């Protein structure tokens, strides 16, 4: 894959940041607090990568929008109660991003997080300086709609043939496919490698940092 791509777009949760277990726990706690059926670990993991509103609608489709908003607010309170920092990044991610930046790649994030949530995470992990642009679900359209990728490519002036999406969820890979962009699935987050391989990505890797040796 050397010299094939100019823009590398990363998902955040489960791809760069080790937060899937915490997200699952917060979704379950929010459901319990609201008196709703508590989703299983598998059910909770299945919505990671979606915007929060869309995730709540998938988990609890039979409840009115008002309940989805209440759930979302409760989830945010739980999620924000945990102090995060650079140690929350997967091992080697900070060095990987730094090396990719030094090699001349343009780097971006496309995430289901809110803008305020991503800005907070970037600042506390010291990674904000490494990304040329970012997109969040609450300022455009949730995955698997391709709009986040389309906006990033347009802003940075890079064609889809020179763009690679790196993500841990089926939603990431479907977004890439809908945008006509190649994708790499990583098995350290929401979906395992067997599930990711069903969507025929360009490559599946155990850890996001394994990407380095394929870009050499």
Contact yes or no for 174/34 (Cβ under 8 A): no
- The one catalytic residue in 3, 6, 11, 18 is 11
- Structure-token pair, residue 7: 């823009």
Closest CA to 165 of 15, 28, 33, 10: 10
> Is residue 11 among the annotated active site residues?
yes
Catalytic hit among 13, 95, 168, 210? 13
- Give the whole-angstrom CA distance, residue 26 versus residue 4: 39
CA distance linking residue 56 with residue 68, whole number of Å: 6
Four-residue CA torsion sign, 114, 152, 93, 101: negative
Told to judge if 172 belongs to the known catalytic residues of this protein, a careful annotator would answer: no
State both tokens at 79: 């999620």
- CA neighbor of 208 nearest in space, from 6, 11, 3: 11
Q: What is the CA radius of gyration of the chain?
A: 17
Kind plus residue range of the DSSP H or E element containing 45: helix 41-46
Which positions are catalytic? 11, 13
């Amino acid at each position: 894959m050397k010299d094939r791509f100019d823009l590398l777009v990363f998902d955040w949760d489960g791809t760069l940041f080790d937060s899937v277990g915490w997200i699952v726990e917060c979704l379950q706690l929010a459901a319990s607090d609201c008196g709703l059926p508590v989703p299983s670990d598998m059910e909770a993991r299945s919505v990671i990568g979606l915007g929060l509103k869309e995730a709540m609608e998938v988990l609890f489709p039979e409840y009115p929008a008002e309940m989805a908003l209440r759930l979302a607010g409760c989830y945010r309170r739980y999620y924000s109660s945990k102090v995060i920092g650079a140690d929350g990044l997967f091992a080697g991610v900070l060095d990987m991003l730094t090396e990719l930046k030094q090699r001349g790649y343009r780097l971006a994030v496309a995430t289901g997080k809110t803008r305020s949530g991503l800005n907070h995470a970037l600042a506390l992990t010291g990674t904000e300086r490494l990304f040329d642009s970012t997109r969040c679900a609450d300022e455009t359209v949730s995955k698997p709609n391709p709009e986040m990728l389309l906006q990033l490519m347009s802003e940075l002036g890079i064609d889809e043939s020179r763009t690679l999406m790196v993500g841990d969820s089926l939603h990431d890979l479907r977004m890439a496919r809908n945008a006509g962009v190649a994708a790499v699935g990583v098995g350290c987050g929401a979906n395992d490698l067997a599930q990711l391989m069903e969507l025929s990505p360009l490559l599946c890797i155990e850890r996001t940092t394994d990407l380095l040796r394929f870009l050499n």
